[in-house]
Amino acid sequence: MQKGDRYGTHRVLSPAGTLPQPAIQLDNTMEIYDNEMLIDVSTLNIDSASYTQIKKQCHSNAEDMKNLILSIVAERGKMQNPVTGSGGMLIGTVKALGPKFPHNNKVKVGDRIATLVSLSLTPLKIYDIKHLNPKSDQVDVNAEAILFESGIYAILPNDLPEKLALAALDVAGAPAQVDRLVRESDIVCLIGGGGKSGVLCCYQAMKNVGAYGKVIVVEYSKENAQRIKDLHLATDVIIADATNVMDVYRKVMAITGGRGCDVTINNVNVPATEMTSILVTKGQGCVYFFSMATSFTKAALGAEGVGKDICLIVGNGYAKGHSELTLNIIRESREIRELFENLYVPAVDKEEGDNENFLY
């Protein structure tokens, strides 16, 4: 058995000398190195920015979407959308463990797991796409994947349906970062608060701000906005297009009395919302860009251009303890659990549904 590098550089085919995530092509042969995990993959959760782009490119045609996903993986050896650069995550069964994989008796062959690293760095080989619904970013496959020694994962809990756990874990970094950033009495704005990451972030933000804070949601979809109202996950809900910077700015300033927001969380799955997030945030405030549709060049130079001295945080999907925090939200909130179960647990078997607006 060949020896592997901790960070998976032995799988990089091009360009030489880089890491698996920025690499253009990976070796996706499924013979494991001594420090790798082999996974029998059942479902891919393609990230929202990527899935939305694929759906638009293929005009929501399921067969065309299947073919595009298969062609990306065949060319790159991983599921990394060449337009968005992003990937997603997966669930599957541990098929084999290299003798130097650092499992430490925590995982064994046969365990059901979710990877907590991006598909954009995960060697993947798809043999067949068994089911794809354009309205759901969960794609059922017959596939295999490799997890590196440095990769993180979660053993799927026994008390939650797998599809539900996958949907929540896909965005686990967002509510965990909200928990770190939001303090009691803060004014928080969630741009794109009605999707799955938005709902989880709203719950955590409302919990953190307490009785004297505000949670303002900006949501394009009237249906998603109504969900937030029905679930009492915000103090204020604005129905608006987040790409219309000045419209959103005026509405948020009216709610905050011109003060602006202490923390802004951007969860949208479309580009051109960077300046909206920046303008609604007060000086010395913080913007967390969870969205993979974000142009960090636009954000950095845009903040400079309008004289905003604020902290801009890249949406790192990993935060210590993020999987436990996120799954606990599902356990704590019966309403959110029911919403996620309705949208994700049966989604693979439904051709109709209302989760098209709930991807991010």
Kindly report the average pLDDT of the chain as a whole number: 93
* Structural domain includes residue 138: yes
User: Is residue 307 classed exposed, middle or buried when 0-12, 13-18 and 19+ CB atoms within 10 A define those classes?
Assistant: exposed
What confidence score (pLDDT) does residue 72 get?
Answer: 98
- What token pair was written down for 334? 């019966």
Name the nearest CA neighbour of 112 among 214, 57, 37, 32. 37
* Structural domain includes residue 1: no
In degrees, to the nearest 5, what angle opens at C-alpha 180 toward C-alphas 174 and 186? 100
Looking at the predicted structure, is the pLDDT value of residue 23 above 90? yes
In degrees, to the nearest 5, what angle opens at C-alpha 84 toward C-alphas 153 and 269? 80
Q: What is the tens place of the pLDDT at every residue in 286-314?
A: 999 998 888 989 999 999 999 999 999 99
Looking at the predicted structure, is the pLDDT value of residue 18 above 60? yes
Top-ranked range on mean pLDDT: pick from 298-307, 310-319, 342-351 = 298-307
Q: What's the mean pLDDT in 255-261?
A: 97
Q: What's the mean pLDDT in 54-62?
A: 97
* Structural domain includes residue 4: no
Q: What is the tens place of the pLDDT at every residue in 77-86?
A: 999 999 999 9
Is the domain of 90 the same as that of 216?
A: no
Residue with tokens 């990993």: 318
Looking at the predicted structure, is the pLDDT value of residue 107 above 90? yes
Last residue of a domain, one of 156, 174, 206: 156
Q: What's the mean pLDDT in 139-148?
A: 98
Which of left, alpha, beta for 4 (phi over 0: left; psi -120 to 50: alpha)? beta
220 to 48, 125, 180: CA distances (angstroms): 16, 36, 26
Q: What is the tens place of the pLDDT at every residue in 181-226?
A: 999 999 999 999 888 899 999 999 999 999 999 999 999 999 999 9
The model's confidence at residue 105, banded by pLDDT at 50, 70 and 90, is: confident
Domain ranges, residue 302: 157-360
Residue ranges in the chain assigned as alpha helix (H)? 48-57, 62-76, 162-169, 173-181, 196-209, 222-230, 245-256, 274-279, 296-305, 322-332, 334-344
Prediction pTM value: 0.87
Q: What's the mean pLDDT in 105-116?
A: 93
What confidence score (pLDDT) does residue 104 get?
Answer: 66
Q: Please, are residues 144 and 44 in contact by the beta-carbon 8 Å criterion?
A: no
Last residue of a domain, one of 156, 188, 204: 156
Q: What's the mean pLDDT in 91-110?
A: 92
What confidence score (pLDDT) does residue 357 get?
Answer: 54
Last residue of a domain, one of 132, 156, 180: 156
Q: What is the CATH number of the domain that holds 329?
A: 3.90.180.10
Looking at the predicted structure, is the pLDDT value of residue 348 above 70? no
Q: Please, are residues 33 and 98 in contact by the beta-carbon 8 Å criterion?
A: yes
Is the domain of 229 the same as that of 114?
A: no
Percent of the chain with pLDDT over 70: 96
What confidence score (pLDDT) does residue 344 get?
Answer: 80
Is the domain of 130 the same as that of 196?
A: no
44 to 137, 303, 348: CA distances (angstroms): 8, 35, 12
What confidence score (pLDDT) does residue 187 get?
Answer: 98
Paired strand residues for 46 = 88
Looking at the predicted structure, is the pLDDT value of residue 350 above 60? no
Is the domain of 73 the same as that of 167?
A: no
What confidence score (pLDDT) does residue 49 get?
Answer: 86
Name the nearest CA neighbour of 61 among 112, 129, 134, 122. 134
Q: What's the mean pLDDT in 108-119?
A: 96
Is the domain of 216 the same as that of 311?
A: yes
Looking at the predicted structure, is the pLDDT value of residue 355 above 50? no
Distance, in Å, from the CA atom of 280 to the CA atom of 112, rounded to the nearest integer, reads 42
Q: What's the mean pLDDT in 267-272?
A: 89
**How distant is the alpha carbon of residue 312 from its chain centre?**
18
More confident of the two residues 104 and 263? 263
Is the domain of 127 the same as that of 175?
A: no
The model's confidence at residue 316, banded by pLDDT at 50, 70 and 90, is: confident
Distance, in Å, from the CA atom of 202 to the CA atom of 215, rounded to the nearest integer, reads 7
Is the domain of 125 the same as that of 245?
A: no
Is the domain of 191 the same as that of 144?
A: no
Looking at the predicted structure, is the pLDDT value of residue 44 above 70? yes
Q: How many domains does the chain have?
A: 2
Distance, in Å, from the CA atom of 329 to the CA atom of 27, rounded to the nearest integer, reads 38
* Structural domain includes residue 3: no
Looking at the predicted structure, is the pLDDT value of residue 17 above 60? yes
Is the domain of 264 the same as that of 298?
A: yes
